[in-house]
Amino acid sequence: MSTTTELDFIHRYEPETVIGSPPLLMLHGTGGNEHDLVDVGRVIAPGSAILSPRGKVLEGGVPRFFRRLAEGVFDEDDVRRRANELADFVEEARERYGLAKPVAVGFSNGANIAAAMLLLRPGTVAGAVLLRAMVPLKEMPKADLHDTPVLMLSGVMDPIVPQENAARLALALTERGADVDHRLLPLSHGLGQADLSLSSDWIARR
């Protein structure tokens, strides 16, 4: 299905082809767009509905979901505003398309906005796959994430996301009640086949 400007985000929507499959909210990384992760969604959850918005922030002319001040340094006021804006879009899209709560699948910047949305607007999504995520806020709110499953996949050779930072996010989500499965993969920041296989297996168990 083609891109649409309806609702508050430019986005791509593909309806489910297998009844009962969990819908996916696909959140691209820096420089991506609403088409970037659609094929990933098809691989990890065949038959699922796919909702894929384009980030509204431009950095050097390419889309992101929130502003940053430097590599790894986020504009935290913008993170909060954009996470709430994205959560509002998810609720509107669910009503428009008749969707159950989606599982967020985010890569890099998309994983970071997904983590922020989990913390700031718990209950918006049914769970999350966070691919190369890092701590989105220095002071993370005391959200209630009980019964929220989260898969985090981090790369041990990732030059962008320090292992300590990813571990701190996993701990923060766990402390707030999320059921976190954090895996360290022998990869860099880019995605590999292991990301797809582990994500697919995890989603199949939801």
Active-site residues, by number, are: 108, 158, 189
Distance, CA of 189 to CA of 179 (rounded, Å): 24
SS3 content of the chain, % helix, strand, coil (to 5): 30, 25, 45
Query: How many helices and strands in the chain, by DSSP H and E?
Result: 5, 12
Amino acid at site 185: L
DSSP code per residue over 25-87? EEE--TT--TTTTHHHHHHHSTT--EEEEPPSEEETTEEESS-EEETTEE-HHHHHHHHHHHH
At residue 23, what are phi and psi to the nearest 5 degrees?
Answer: -65, 150
Pairing mode, if any, of strands 11-14 and 24-27?
A: unpaired
Place of tokens 């994983």: 111
Report the C-alpha gap between 138 and 150 in whole angstroms: 20
